[in-house]
Chains A and B, each alone.
Chain A
Amino acid sequence: MTVAPEKPDPDGIDQMLDELAALPVPDPSGDLVARVLVDAEAHLPAPGGRVVAAPWWQQIVRGIGGWGAVSGLVAATATGFVIGVGAVGDTGVDSFWTLGYDAAYDDTNLGLDAFGWALEEG
C-alpha cells in the first residue's frame, strides 16, 4: 500500500492547480453584459470630460528614471551629508567660523612670523 506523504511536494501543488485550472468555465450570461452596461451608462461622464494627467511629482519621478533613480539620488545625497558632517566633526565646530572673512583672512595683526612671510624668506 502506498502511503501518501504528510506534506504535498511542489509537484503535488502543481497538480492541484492544474486540475483547478482545467475545470470548464461557463460563458458569462448575456444578463451580465446588460448589467455592466447599465452601470456604465449610469456613470458615463459628461461629453468632453477631460483626461487627468499624472501629478507633477510623478512626472518628475518618471523624468529622472523612476523610483530606483530617486532612491539612488537620496542615498548619494545622504552619503554626501554624512561625509560633510564627519569632516566638520574632525576639525571642530569652531571651524565653521573660519568661513567668515573677518576671522579667517584678517591679516592686520599678522607678524613677520606669519606663514606667508616665513615662506618668502625661506
Chain B
Amino acid sequence: MPLDARPDEDDAALLARYARGDAGAARALTVRLAPRAHAQAFRMLGDRSEAEDVVQDAMLRLWRIAPEWRFGEAQVSTWLYRVVSNLCTDRLRKRRRSGVALDDVAEPEDPAPGAEARLQDHARHAALRAAIAALPERQRLALTLRHFDGASNPEIAEQLGISVEAVESLTARAKRALAAALKGRVAALGYEG
C-alpha cells in the first residue's frame, strides 16, 4: 500500500477536501484508514475476504456521509472504527442465525503443527469472536481497542468520549460477559483456565 500522500493534513481536513470534490483526498484517506480498518475487521471475522468487504462497505459509508459530516465533532478514525465493528458484528450474528458452524469459518493460513491443533484453534477463535460480537457496543469497542489495538485506557476514554473509570468498568464487564459466554467450554476449547 502506498505511503500517505498528505501526512500534514488530519483526517477531518482530508474529508472536508473530499466533500468539496477533491478526489485526491479520497486516495489519501484510503491509504491512511483502510489498513487499520482491515486489520480490525480481520481480527473480528477471521476471514480476509469478508474483512475486505467490510472495509469497502465502511469506506463507502464514509464517502456518503462526507457532505453532511459535522466537522469538529467525532473523529473520523473513531467513527470508522465503530462502523467497522458494527458491520463485523452484524456478519457474525448472521453467521449464527444462518446456522453456519463457527468451526467452518475460514481461518488464516498459519503454520499450525497439525490438523487437530488447527481445528481446535479454529473452534477457539470462532467461539471467542462470537462471544465478542454478542457484547453491547460500548463494551465491545472498549475491549477491542484495548486488546486488539493496544490502546491505553486514557486513549480509549478520549476516543469514546467517556471517563477512564468508565473504560475500566466497560472492559471489566466485557470480560465477565465473555467468561459467562464461554462457561463450560474452556477445556473443550483447549484452554487450561
A residues lining the B interface (CB < 8 Å): 2, 4-10, 12-21, 23-33, 35-37, 39-41, 43-54, 58
Interface of A is mostly: loop
Q: Are B128 and A17 in contact (CB under 8 A)?
A: yes
Q: Is B186 an interface residue (CB 8 A)?
A: yes
Q: Are B1 and A27 in contact (CB under 8 A)?
A: yes
Q: How far is the CB of B12 from chain A (nearest CB, A)?
A: 10
Chain B residues whose CB sits within 8 angstroms of the CB of A39 once the complex forms: 56, 59-60, 63
**With the chains together, A19 CA to B63 CA distance in Å?**
34
Contact with A along B137-153 (1 / 0, CB 8 A): 00000010001101000
Contact with A along B41-85 (1 / 0, CB 8 A): 011001010011001100110011011111111000000000000
Extra inter-chain contacts (17) besides given A8-B179, A20-B125, CB under 8 Å = A10-B175, A12-B179, A13-B179, A15-B191, A16-B124, A25-B39, A28-B34, A32-B55, A35-B52, A36-B59, A37-B30, A39-B63, A44-B26, A44-B63, A47-B20, A54-B72, A58-B70
Q: Are A21 and B55 in contact (CB under 8 A)?
A: no
Q: How far is the CB of A41 from chain B (nearest CB, A)?
A: 6
Chain B residues whose CB sits within 8 angstroms of the CB of A18 once the complex forms: 147
Determine which residue in A29, A35, A44 has the highest number of CB atoms from chain B within 10 A of its CB, and name it. A44
| Sampled A-B contacts (12; CB under 8 Å) | A2-B192, A9-B193, A16-B124, A17-B148, A20-B147, A33-B34, A44-B18, A51-B20, A51-B71, A52-B70, A52-B71, A54-B71
Chain A residues whose CB sits within 8 angstroms of the CB of B55 once the complex forms: 28, 32, 36
Q: Are B23 and A12 in contact (CB under 8 A)?
A: no
Q: Is B19 an interface residue (CB 8 A)?
A: yes
Q: Are A36 and B56 in contact (CB under 8 A)?
A: yes
Contact with A along B142-186 (1 / 0, CB 8 A): 010001101000000000000000000000000100111011101
Q: A13-B179, A28-B38, A54-B73 are in contact. Are A40 and B186 (CB under 8 A)?
A: no
Q: Are B21 and A20 in contact (CB under 8 A)?
A: no
Q: Are A23 and B59 in contact (CB under 8 A)?
A: no
Q: Is B136 an interface residue (CB 8 A)?
A: no
**With the chains together, A5 CA to B1 CA distance in Å?**
45
Determine which residue in A21, A26, A28, A35 has the highest number of CB atoms from chain B within 10 A of its CB, and name it. A28
Chain A residues whose CB sits within 8 angstroms of the CB of B115 once the complex forms: none
Q: Are A41 and B52 in contact (CB under 8 A)?
A: no
From the candidates A20, A41, A51, name the one contacting B129 in the complex (CB within 8 A).
A20
Q: How far is the CB of A115 from chain B (nearest CB, A)?
A: 59
Q: Are A6 and B184 in contact (CB under 8 A)?
A: yes
Q: Is B27 an interface residue (CB 8 A)?
A: yes
Chain B residues whose CB sits within 8 angstroms of the CB of A46 once the complex forms: 21
**With the chains together, A27 CA to B70 CA distance in Å?**
31
**With the chains together, A39 CA to B51 CA distance in Å?**
17
Q: Which residue of A lies closest to B127 (CB)?
A: A16
Q: Are A45 and B30 in contact (CB under 8 A)?
A: no
Chain B residues whose CB sits within 8 angstroms of the CB of A8 once the complex forms: 178-179, 182-183, 186, 191, 193
